[in-house]
Amino acid sequence: MNAEVQCPGTQTQPQVRGGVVAYLLVNGASKASEFYQRAFAATEVARQPVDEKGRTMHVHLYVNGSSLMLCDPYPEYGHALEKPQAFDLMLQVDDIDAWFARAAAAGAEVVQPVQEMFWGARYGQLRDPFGVRWSMNQPLG
């Protein structure tokens, strides 16, 4: 499959990866992108220019083989910032110790340290500086 698609009247856009793609509204999309690059080895593949108020309406990242999209709040267009609740983003990884340590070193808060779980995996949780909770899971064996 082609990694990029051409949208009529626009520049070439990167391929969207994954069946369900999280699109996060965060206060500071540009800073969140930089953090996710350090913490989760994300690659930024597209970004709209920052507006006159310092906001970014679209950032597209690849994280662990999937797309993750970000934008700043635009309350004047009905997109106000609300505290994240009742969800977390799950990263299925092969080396949970390395992934977890990198995220913590980048500034993610440890919510639940990595431990062996009853479902046959090593699992832990972190919260990033933008309020999003991330889970990491590595199957045993």
**pTM for this structure?**
0.87
> Can 1-78 and 83-141 be said to share one CATH topology?
yes
Exposure of 61 by Cβ count < 10 A (0-12 exposed, 13-18 middle, 19+ buried)? buried
CATH top-level class of 83-141: alpha beta
1-78 fold: 3.30.720
Pick from 63, 62, 125, 136: which is nearest to 93 by CA? 136
Beta bridge partners of 115: 123
Alpha-carbon distance of 141 to 135, in angstroms, equals 19
Note the pLDDT tens digit of each residue in 26-83: 999 999 999 999 999 999 999 999 999 999 999 999 999 999 999 999 999 888 988 8
User: What are the boundaries of each domain within the chain?
Assistant: 1-78, 83-141
SS3 23: strand
Alpha-carbon distance of 9 to 6, in angstroms, equals 9
For the beta sheet containing 43-47, the strands, ordered from the edge strand earlier in sequence to the opposite edge, are 22-25, 66-71, 59-63, 43-47
pLDDT, position 83 = 80
Q: What is the mean pLDDT of the chain?
A: 91
Please determine, for residue 5, whether its predicted confidence score (pLDDT) is greater than 50.
no
